[in-house]
A = this chain, B = another copy of it.
């Protein structure tokens, strides 16, 4: 069931971040920080919203999104991650669609995703292309030399 997480889901959110093969330590910590800000300040003040897919108490996936400052209804999808043992079966696709719908409900006009151009992110990039995103831009060597930022967008 896709739902807004409760405070006790934080551990499983962290566990999913730590179990994906593509997140490095700094990225795992970044998700933890956004989660803490979300808990302590709420979505409105923190600017971070979380959605999870939870089946019988087990977290299968989480997403985090929020409005981009200084824009008219542009939202960032900061993170979306699926438990590696729950892959296939459309978990990611379902949570992505639910996140888009939630952003739409908030009045969102444009959703923006930033990801890596590394070969290890090829499945991720193909996932976004397959779910209706436009590969809008590539920033060469953005993350580090040899690691481009690839920006996808979708009109909502």
Which residues of A are at the interface with B, using a C-beta cutoff of 8 A? 26-27, 30, 69-74, 109-110, 112, 136-145, 147, 151, 153
Interface of A is mostly: strand
Shortest Cβ distance from A24 into B: residue: B70
Are B151 and A71 neighbours in the complex by a CB distance under 8 Å? no
Known contacts A30-B69, A30-B70, A70-B30; A110 and B153 CB within 8 A of each other? no
State in angstroms the CA–CA spacing of A30 and B26 once bound together: 26
User: Chain B nearest CB: distance from A98 CB in Å?
Assistant: 24
A-B contact pairs, 15 of them (CB 8 A): A27-B70, A30-B69, A30-B70, A70-B143, A71-B144, A72-B143, A74-B144, A109-B144, A110-B141, A110-B142, A112-B139, A137-B138, A137-B151, A139-B151, A142-B153
